[in-house]
Amino acid sequence: MRFIKGLLSAALLMAGAMAAKKSSEERFNSFHTKALASLPVKLSDVSYKTLTEAPRDYSVSVLLTAMDPRYGCHLCREFQPEWDLLAKSWIKGDKKGESRMIFGTLDFTNGRDTFLSLGLQTAPVLLHFPPTTGPHAVASQEPVRYDFSSGPQNAEQVRSWLVRHMPEGPHPEIVRPINWVRWISGITITMGVLTFIYVASDYILPIVTNRNVWAAISVMTILIYTSGQMFNQIRNTPYIGSDSRGGIVYFTRGFQSQVGIETQLVGCMYAIMALCSITLAVKVPRMADSSAQQRVVLICGGALFLTYSFFLSIFRIKNAGYPFSLPPFM
């Protein structure tokens, strides 16, 4: 058994030595042929060393990842489809290899020695190796490392990063496959909505074309915006305030500050006054019963007066110098 293991080790060493003797052009052609069949190229410790060793007149991008669930690398599994898409899009747009670019993937299971030699303790790690010889050679032989600190990245972001570190030449665009599920779902939902509208049109059209419905929507929209809702959204104001003693503040001082509950209370007062005004102007004149008409006038007039009195008191809270007031909220 030991003899067989020794033979395998010797064979691997001989294979590595033979690969090292290959020229840069031979190595590129060999890996480019593999890339046409399988994207990106699956690497091991030996093939990684062969692909990235100098001298090298081509570019290499290698993703060092850990896909085995035992390692719990969620970012690896999230980024792998984007990496595969980038490699496939690139090779489809550059089948002749004019960009002199090879994409490879080295999983921790097949590249423990490489991870240890690079001192890597996290994954994924994306390394880009520029050419070391030829017209586009760079002075440093150290690879450029992509930053995953901001979380999952998409294929377009990685492609832009690679293009910045590559010489001029063909840089194929990302071609995403058609999402048939999304298209079919969208068409099905659209057809369902249109069918519902057609079947229920006899019930929907009277509501949509009703003047009172649109008047109510318009009034509610106006009340929402005039009460300060847009101010809350822009300033991201808190819902409720507090004073120095830990008590609750419903209305803050100053016209440049407010809280969420203040907006809601002001909106309710606007709604009460608007409802009373509309009732007095539209509903009351059409009432045939004079006694009922009188009662509605007194109720709406009283509610309007009290609400407006309280509303003026709020103005004095916002600005102590406000001169107007009405009883009972003086």
Residue 31: which of 108, 91, 81 has the closest Cα?
A: 91
Q: How far apart are CA 45 and CA 42, in angstroms?
A: 11
What integer pLDDT is reported at residue 4 of this predicted model? 53
Question: In this model, does residue 18 exceed pLDDT 50?
Answer: no
CA torsion sign, 290 to 294 to 295 to 296?
Answer: positive
SS (H, E, C) 42-101: ECCHHHHHHHHCCCCCCEEEEEEECCCHHHCCHHHHHHHHHHHHHHHHHHHHCCCCCCCE
Question: In this model, does residue 217 exceed pLDDT 60?
Answer: yes
Burial letters for 17-47: b for 16+ Cβ neighbours within 10 Å, e otherwise?
eebeeeebeebbebbbebbeeebbbebbbbb
Token pair recorded at residue 176: 């995403």
The whole-number average pLDDT for the span 126-131 is 93
**Tens digit of each residue's pLDDT (9 = 90 or more) over 196-214:** 988 888 888 888 889 888 9
Confidence category of residue 8, pLDDT binned at 50, 70, 90: very low
260 touches 239 (CB < 8 A):
yes
Question: In this model, does residue 177 exceed pLDDT 90?
Answer: no
Confidence category of residue 15, pLDDT binned at 50, 70, 90: very low
What integer pLDDT is reported at residue 87 of this predicted model? 92
251 touches 314 (CB < 8 A):
yes
Confidence category of residue 121, pLDDT binned at 50, 70, 90: confident
